[in-house]
């Protein structure tokens, strides 16, 4: 099957569902006469995006920068820590249960602490995006490395391959499908982490990213601006997810079912 | 090529949980010859091969291998890395021994030609048939010029015709090099066809029931039609059967 056809076949079903949902939303607002400050129509959200395009696109750019840096950091930290936990069994038993804390502790509760530690602006937002998205990468890497085919691992032992060499030539490629599963989950979480981080630790005014736009619009009852910012944040999440999927397809498409 | 001699003395292997796989085994693998270990499924013959290969350590007894061998392994499954093409799979042992990229490529291509896979060097394992994957595994076992070749039921999962053809190809490769070979199989015909000596093992724990010298010289497809080939198979079958009945 040709690539344009593959892309078309994977795009049109969700596009149709989105169109149906938007129509239902619009109908509900009109039929029940819901005031705009409670729920704007999809059309007024689009209008707001159009009206405030320069401000919103700049805000999206700032959030995208923090998200990408936070996600990149969590990818590196996640893969390195997952690999270390796999290579050192004692560390796995001692440290891995504690990494669950990254999932358990609510980000909203620790975001103010990040501002204290890293200051206002980009660093605390990056830290928030990283903290909330790193666990799935650690778990994915560790699961992948621990599920390496026993026969292949034995073959490497027979050829007297060292642990690092075995990790590089066998463990890492073998675990890539589950690493990418972790990265796909992390992509969405990184956007959430950045937005929550921005609620607390971002500059406002001309430097405002999407999270700060949302809090400022909420205070002024500009619900359609809130929806416009949320829409752009969701699109950012989709774009990052798509990028991870593309990377996964490029790396795994030739040999692993999960990426075909 | 220096012929490798393998001596097992009073070797025992008991797995955690108390499963006794090998009991007081004395065995000599004659240098430059093919020895087949034949026994029922689960009798401990693969454990013996893994002990000799150094993958397992014996619970008691000693294993002497002289001189230190370059071991080539061929397993029941091809064990190819799905993300590497056939050439890079075949070259893996050399790569792990830190050979140069050029050497890896040259030697892998040479071995692939040897097993008739010269045209498939760039293919991924998923694009190959079962027989082609096993050929690639055979090429990998030969890549480091092994002085001791350990074959663990290498063609057990293949169809009969492919299996017979691969037996003939391996017989030709092994005899050309006169290396010490240990073949583990539960196929009497395969053992008689490939080996110079067949060692028949009892059900677990593995003990030697009998040994058979195989008198044939050259191994080719026509050998399978000889009366003596059939007679040897029949004698070995009777020993195997008696061993199984004695323990049941």
**Would you list the domain boundaries of chain B?**
5-70+147-247, 79-145
Q: Is B107 on the interface with A (CB under 8 A)?
A: no
CB contact under 8 A, B92 and A255: no
Residue B192 scores a pLDDT above 80? yes
> Can you give the length of chain A in residues?
260
CA distance B129 to B112: 15
Looking at per-residue pLDDT, the higher value among B110 and A99 belongs to B110
Tell me which long-range contacts B83-88 makes (C-beta under 8 A, separation of at least 24): B83/A173, B83/A254, B83/A255, B83/A256, B83/B124, B84/B124, B84/B125, B85/B121, B85/B122, B85/B123, B85/B124, B86/B112, B86/B117, B86/B120, B86/B121, B86/B122, B86/B123, B86/B124, B86/B125, B86/B128, B86/B136, B87/B112, B87/B121, B87/B122
CB contact under 8 A, A170 and B81: yes
CB contact under 8 A, A152 and B73: no
CB contact under 8 A, B96 and A159: yes
pLDDT at residue A1 in the model: 57
A170 vs B contacts (CB less than 8 Å): 81
Average pLDDT, chain B: 90
Average pLDDT for B51-58:
91
Residue B169: band (very low, low, confident or very high) from pLDDT cuts 50, 70, 90 = confident
Domain B5-70+147-247 has CATH 3.40.30.10: no
Q: Is A168 on the interface with B (CB under 8 A)?
A: no
Beta bridge mates, B183: B36, B151
Residue B218: band (very low, low, confident or very high) from pLDDT cuts 50, 70, 90 = confident
Domains of chain A (ranges plus CATH)?
Answer: 41-259 (1.10.3720.10)
pLDDT at residue A109 in the model: 86
CA distance A167 to A163: 6
Residues in A 173-202 with any Cβ partner in B closer than 8 A: 173
pLDDT at residue B136 in the model: 94
Radius of gyration of chain A from its Cα atoms, rounded to whole angstroms: 22
Question: What sign has the CA pseudo-torsion B87, B151, A154, A161?
Answer: negative
Q: What is the value of ipTM here, to two decimals?
A: 0.85
Residue B59: band (very low, low, confident or very high) from pLDDT cuts 50, 70, 90 = very high
Residue B1 scores a pLDDT above 60? no
Query: Which of B79, B93, B124 is facing A151, going by the closest CB pair?
Result: B79
With a CB cutoff of 8 Å and minimum separation 6, the contacts of A58 are none
Residue B248: band (very low, low, confident or very high) from pLDDT cuts 50, 70, 90 = low
Q: How far is CA B221 from the centre of its chain?
A: 19
CB contact under 8 A, A155 and B83: no
Each of the 260 residues of chain A gets a pLDDT tens digit; together they read 567 787 788 889 989 999 999 999 999 999 999 998 999 999 999 999 999 999 999 999 999 999 999 999 999 999 999 999 999 988 888 888 888 887 888 888 889 999 999 999 999 999 999 999 999 999 999 999 999 999 999 999 988 899 999 999 999 999 999 999 999 999 999 999 999 999 998 888 888 999 999 999 999 999 999 999 999 999 999 999 999 999 999 999 888 877 66
pLDDT at residue A260 in the model: 63
- Supply A15's token pair: 């596009």
Query: Which of A154, A254, A255 is facing B55, going by the closest CB pair?
Result: A154
CB contact under 8 A, A155 and B79: yes
CA distance A109 to A121: 18
CB contact under 8 A, A158 and B79: no
pLDDT at residue B2 in the model: 64
A152 vs B contacts (CB less than 8 Å): 79, 81
CB contact under 8 A, B124 and A254: yes
CA distance A71 to chain B (A): 26
A156 vs B contacts (CB less than 8 Å): 96
Residue B217: band (very low, low, confident or very high) from pLDDT cuts 50, 70, 90 = confident
CB contact under 8 A, B83 and A254: yes
Average pLDDT for B186-191:
92
pLDDT in tens, B228-238: 999 999 999 99
A149 vs B contacts (CB less than 8 Å): 79
B83 vs A contacts (CB less than 8 Å): 173, 254-256
pLDDT at residue A225 in the model: 95
B77 vs A contacts (CB less than 8 Å): 151
Residue B151: band (very low, low, confident or very high) from pLDDT cuts 50, 70, 90 = very high
């Amino acid at each position: 099957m040709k690539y344009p056809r593959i892309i078309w076949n994977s795009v049109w079903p969700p596009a149709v569902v989105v169109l149906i949902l938007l129509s239902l939303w619009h109908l509900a607002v009109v039929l029940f006469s819901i005031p705009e400050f409670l729920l704007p129509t999809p059309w007024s959200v689009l209008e707001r995006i159009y009206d405030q395009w320069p401000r919103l696109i700049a805000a999206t750019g700032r959030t995208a920068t923090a998200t990408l840096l936070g996600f990149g950091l969590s990818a590196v930290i996640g893969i390195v820590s997952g690999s270390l936990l796999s290579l050192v069994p004692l560390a796995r038993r001692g440290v891995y249960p504690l990494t669950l804390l990254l999932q358990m502790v609510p980000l909203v509760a620790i975001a103010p602490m990040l501002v204290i530690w890293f200051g206002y602006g980009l660093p605390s937002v990056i830290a928030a995006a990283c903290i909330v998205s790193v666990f799935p990468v650690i778990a994915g890497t560790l699961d992948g490395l621990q599920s390496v085919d026993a026969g292949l691992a034995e073959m490497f032992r027979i050829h007297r391959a060292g642990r690092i060499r075995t990790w590089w030539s066998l463990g890492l490629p073998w675990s890539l499908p589950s690493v990418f599963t972790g990265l796909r989950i992390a992509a969405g979480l990184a956007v959430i982490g950045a937005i929550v981080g921005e609620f607390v630790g971002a500059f406002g005014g001309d430097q405002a990213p999407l999270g700060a736009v949302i809090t400022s619009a909420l205070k002024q009852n500009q619900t359609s601006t809130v929806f416009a910012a949320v829409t752009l944040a969701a699109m950012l999440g989709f774009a990052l997810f798509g990028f991870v999927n593309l990377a996964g397809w490029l790396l795994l498409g030739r040999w692993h079912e999960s990426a075909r | 090529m220096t012929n490798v001699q393998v001596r097992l003395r009073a070797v025992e292997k008991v797995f955690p949980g108390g499963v006794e796989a090998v009991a007081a085994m004395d065995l000599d693998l004659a240098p430059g010859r093919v020895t087949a270990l034949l026994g029922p499924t689960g009798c401990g013959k693969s454990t013996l091969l893994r002990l000799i290969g150094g993958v397992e350590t014996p619970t008691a007894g000693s294993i002497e291998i002289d001189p230190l061998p370059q071991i080539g392994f061929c397993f029941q499954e091809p064990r190819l890395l799905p993300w590497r093409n056939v050439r890079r799979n075949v070259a893996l042992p050399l790569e792990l021994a830190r050979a140069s990229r050029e050497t890896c490529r040259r030697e892998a291509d040479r071995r692939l030609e040897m097993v008739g896979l010269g045209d498939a060097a760039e293919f991924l394992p998923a694009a190959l048939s079962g027989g082609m994957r096993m050929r690639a595994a055979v090429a990998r076992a030969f890549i480091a010029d092994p002085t001791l070749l350990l074959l663990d039921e290498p063609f057990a999962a293949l169809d009969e015709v492919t299996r017979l053809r691969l037996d003939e190809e391996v017989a030709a490769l092994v005899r050309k090099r006169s290396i010490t070979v240990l073949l583990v199989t539960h196929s009497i015909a395969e053992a008689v066809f490939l080996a110079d000596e067949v060692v028949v093992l009892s059900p677990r724990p593995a003990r030697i029931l009998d040994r058979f010298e195989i008198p044939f010289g050259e191994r080719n497809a026509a050998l399978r039609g000889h009366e003596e080939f059939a007679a040897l198979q029949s004698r070995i079958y009777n020993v195997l059967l008696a061993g199984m009945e004695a323990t049941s």
